Amino acid sequence: MDQSRRSGVETPLRCGYCPTMITPTTLFEKIWRQHRIVERDDGQTLLWIDRHLCHEGSFHAFDKLARSGRPVRRPDLTFAFADHYVPTRDRSAGARDPEIATMIRLLGENTARHGVRLFGLGDPDQGIVHVVAPELGLTQPGLTLVCGDSHTSTHGAFGALAFGIGASEVSHVLATQSLWQKRPRTLRVTVDGRLGPHVSAKDLILAVIARIGADGAAGHVVEYAGEAIRALPMEARMTVCNMTIEAGGRAGLIAPDDTTFDWLHGRRYAPKGADWDAAVADWRGLVSDTGASFDREVRLDGASIAPTVTWGTSPENAVPVTDRVPDPEAEGDPGRRATLAAAVDYMGLIPGMPITDITVDRVFIGSCTNARIEDLRIAAGVLKGRRATVPTMVVPGSSAVKRQAETEGLDRVFIDAGAEWLESGCSMCAATNGDMVAPGQRCASTTNRNFRGRQGPGARTHLMSPAMAAAAAVTGRITDVRLLGETA
Amino acid sequence: MTPFTTLTAPAIPLRLANVDTDQLLPGRFLRKPRSDGYDNYLFHDIRRGRDGTLRADFPLNDPCYADAPILVADRNFGGGSSREGAVYALVDRGIRAVIAPSFGDIFYSNATKNGLLPIRLPIDIVERIWAIAEADPSAPLTIDLAAQTVRLANAEPVRFEIDAFQRACLLEGRDDIDLTLAHADAISSFETSDRASRRWRAPSA
C-alpha cells in the first residue's frame, strides 16, 4: 500500500514498442499528470488542487475541520461564495428564515476564521459559485478545481479538471490542498456539424444525456469535441460541462482555444503581463493529441438536434419538443416500464400526448446552468415585445451579470413582459433559499435537475433552454421556439 | 468512522432506479445540524403520499424491514447532488450497505468515508435479492468486505469489486486525512516545484 512513485517532474508518455515516439495523450491525462503528488500501487493518486471553492453548504466540512483542530492549508487558493441560501427578493434585512440566515452567517464566520476570501451577501461580486469564479478569472485552463457541489463540472469548459466532492472531501482539501482519486476512464463526445437556429448548448447536452443515460458517463471524464462544440461561446460551453454530472460524468472538459483565452484575458484573477503570455503558451498545449485514445467514444450530428425538453423525473427523460410523452405500456422490460409509469404519474401527464400540449404554471430562468449574460440575452430576445402569461422569475447567475443585463436594458424587457427581475443566487433550482415551486405545480425551468421534489415537494419540472423557457412563458405551455412567431 | 468488516442481516428491496440524492435527502433539510440526526429526513418526500401520510407501499415504511441495515436498489443510486447529508440520512437510519447495479460517483465516495459500504452487483443478482427479501423479509444476506462477497441465503457467494484503498479505509474505519498527512513532505515539495514551474497558477488580483 506504499507509494510507488512520486511525480513532480513531468516526463512525456513514451510508446512501449518504440520508445522514441511520444504516445498521443488526452487532455485529461495531461492535467492529471501535472497534478500527481503521490501514486500508489493500488492506483489511488494524491492530486494537488489548484482552486477550492466553498459555499454555505460547506459548513459540515468546516465543522469537521474544527473538530480536528486543523487549519486551512492554503486559504489563498480557497474562495467562498454565498449562493445556495441567499434571498432573491428584498435583501435589506438578510434572510428572514432564521435557519437560512444561520447558513449565511456560518459561511461568514468560517471564512473569516481561516482567512478565506468570501464573496458574501452584499458583495458586488456575489453570485452563483459556478458563474462568479469564471467571471473573476479564478477558473483557468489546466487547473484542478473542486467544490462541494456536483455542478463544479461547469469549470471544465475552460479545460480545467473540475469536479464536485462531498463534505468529507471538502474537509480533506481544506486541510491538505490535495485529494485522493482513482484515475477515471475517458469518454469523448464528438458533436459534428452546426446547431440549427434557436438550438442551444442546453439542447445539445440534453440530447447527449438522453442518448447515454443519467449514469451513462459514470466513472468517466467526458471531453467534448467537434465542430459544434468549437463554435460555442464560453457561456454555452459552461452549460454543456455543467450538465455532464446529469449523465453521471465525473467531469466535463473542453480544450481551451482562442475563444477561451479572449474570454479570460483581463479578468481580475487571470494572469497578467508576462505571466499571461507564459500561461497562454502553456495552455495551447492543453489539447488531446491526434490519435489519443479514449475508453469510449460517442458521436452526434449537431444539425439533427432539435430544441429538447424533459418530460419526466430524470434528465435522461429528454425528447425533442416535436415528440410525445412516451407510453410506458410500449416498454418491454418490466423494470423500465414501472420506472416510466411512475415518472408519467408523478408528472401528471397522459402517455402519448404531444409535448407541446403540456401547459405550465410558471417559468424559472436562472441557475448555474443557464443564467449567464448570453442566456439572458437569448431569453430577452424571445420576450421582447411579448407578455408572459404565467408567473415568470428571472434570476441572474451573478450580481455582475445582473448589472451587465441592466446596462443592456434586458431588465426592462423582462419587466415589461411581466416577469420578476430578481437578485442573484441558486434560488428555485436548488430551492434551498425558500424559492419553491408549489406542490403539483408545473415549471418550465432552465435548470439542471427535474428530480422529484427538486424545486419543492411535489413540484414538476421540465428542463429546457432559456429560449424555450421564454417561449413557454409567452404561451403558457411548452412551445417550439422556432415556431413562436407563427403561433404567438 | 465505524469500521465495516462483515454483516449478516436482512435487506430492504427498493425497486427504484435513479434514486437521486434529492430523494434521499430533500434540499430543505440540508441546513439541519448533523447533531440532530438525519434519520427522519431519509426519503422524506417520496415515502409520503400527497396528503403527507406515510405510504404503505414504500418498503422503508414497512415494519417488516424496520431493522434491516442493507438497502437494495436499481441502477444509478445516489446520482445528482454531492450532498453528503444523503449518506448521513442512510447511516442515521442504520443502513450499513447499499447494493445496486450502479451508483453516482460522488455518492459512492461519500459513502465510503462514512462507513457505509456501496456494493455494485449486476441487475440479475439484484433481482434475486429483491425476490428473496420480498418473499421473506427476515432472510439474511451475508456481506464479507475482506473477501469481497455477498452471499444470498444458502447460495454460493457472489463476488463484488471495490477499490483496494476504499476497502482498506472501510475495514479499518480510517480517516484518510491522517493517511494523507503522512505524505506531508511530498505535498510540500510538489507545492514548491509547481510554484516555480507554473507561477501564473497562483491567483493574484
pLDDT per residue as tens digits for the range B107-149? 999 999 999 999 999 999 999 999 999 999 999 999 999 999 9
pLDDT over 60 (residue A7): no
- Residue A118, pLDDT score: 98
Q: Cβ B27–A432 below 8 Å, yes or no?
A: yes
Residues A270 and A354 in one domain: no
We report the CATH number of the domain holding residue B66 as 3.20.19.10
We report the CATH number of the domain holding residue A432 as 3.30.499.10
Calpha distance A411→A393 (Å, rounded): 12
Residue B190 lies in a domain: no
- Of residues B15, B20, B180, nearest to A46 (C-beta): B180
Calpha distance A151→A242 (Å, rounded): 5
How many structural domains comprise chain B? 1
Is the model more confident about A90 or about B147? Answer: B147
Residues A266 and A357 in one domain: no
- Of residues A38, A271, A431, nearest to B183 (C-beta): A38
- Residue A13, pLDDT score: 55
Q: Cβ A76–B28 below 8 Å, yes or no?
A: no
Confidence of residue A16 (pLDDT cuts 50, 70, 90): low
- Residue A18, pLDDT score: 57
Residue A262 lies in a domain: yes
Residue A170 lies in a domain: yes
Confidence of residue B101 (pLDDT cuts 50, 70, 90): very high
Please name every residue paired with A249 in a beta bridge, in sequence order, or none if there are none: A218
pLDDT over 70 (residue A85): yes
- Of residues A143, A178, A452, nearest to B46 (C-beta): A452
pLDDT per residue as tens digits for the range B28-60? 999 999 998 999 999 999 999 888 899 999 999
Edge to edge, the sheet with strand A144-147 lists A117-119, A78-81, A51-54, A144-147, A161-164
pLDDT per residue as tens digits for the range A28-52? 999 999 999 999 988 899 999 999 9
- Residue A10, pLDDT score: 47
The secondary element (H helix, E strand) that includes residue B97 is strand B97-100
ipTM: 0.96
Q: In chain A, what percentage of residues exceed pLDDT 70? A: 95
pLDDT per residue as tens digits for the range A402-446? 999 999 999 999 999 999 999 999 999 999 999 999 999 999 999
Q: Distance of CA A296 to CAs A138, A219, A255, A293, A448, Å?
A: 31, 12, 18, 8, 24
Q: Phi/psi of residue A179, each to 5°?
A: -155, 135
Phi-psi region of A449 (alpha: psi -120 to 50; beta: other; left: phi over 0): beta
- Residue B87, pLDDT score: 98
Residues A276 and A324 in one domain: no
Residue B104: give the domain boundaries: 6-174
Residue A141: give the domain boundaries: 51-181+258-283
Nearest chain A CA: its distance from B186 CA (Å): 6
Residue B36 lies in a domain: yes
Contacts of A256 (CB under 8 A, 6+ apart): A141, A142, A158, A159, A283, A284, A286
Nearest chain B CA: its distance from A322 CA (Å): 26
How many structural domains comprise chain A? 2
Confidence of residue A295 (pLDDT cuts 50, 70, 90): very high
Q: Cβ B27–A454 below 8 Å, yes or no?
A: yes
Q: What is the distance of C-alpha A39 from the center of its chain?
A: 29
The secondary element (H helix, E strand) that includes residue A180 is strand A178-182
Q: Cβ B26–A453 below 8 Å, yes or no?
A: yes
A3-33 burial, b at 16+ Cβ within 10 Å, e below that, comes to: beebbbeeeebeeeeeeeeebebbbbbbbbb
Residue A434 lies in a domain: yes
Concatenated DSSP letters of A238-257:
HHHHHGGGGGTBSEEE----
Residue A42 lies in a domain: no
Q: Phi/psi of residue A102, each to 5°?
A: -65, -40
pLDDT over 60 (residue A320): yes
Residues A271 and A331 in one domain: no
Q: Cβ B202–A164 below 8 Å, yes or no?
A: no
- Residue B49, pLDDT score: 86
pLDDT per residue as tens digits for the range B58-72? 999 999 999 999 999
Instruction: Report the mean per-residue pLDDT for chain B.
Output: 95
Show which of residues 36-55 on chain B sit within 8 Å of chain A, judged by CB atoms.
45-46, 50
pLDDT over 60 (residue A11): no
Calpha distance A450→A353 (Å, rounded): 19
- Residue A4, pLDDT score: 40
Residue of A454, A461, A463 for testing the chain B interface, max B β-carbons within 10 Å:
A454
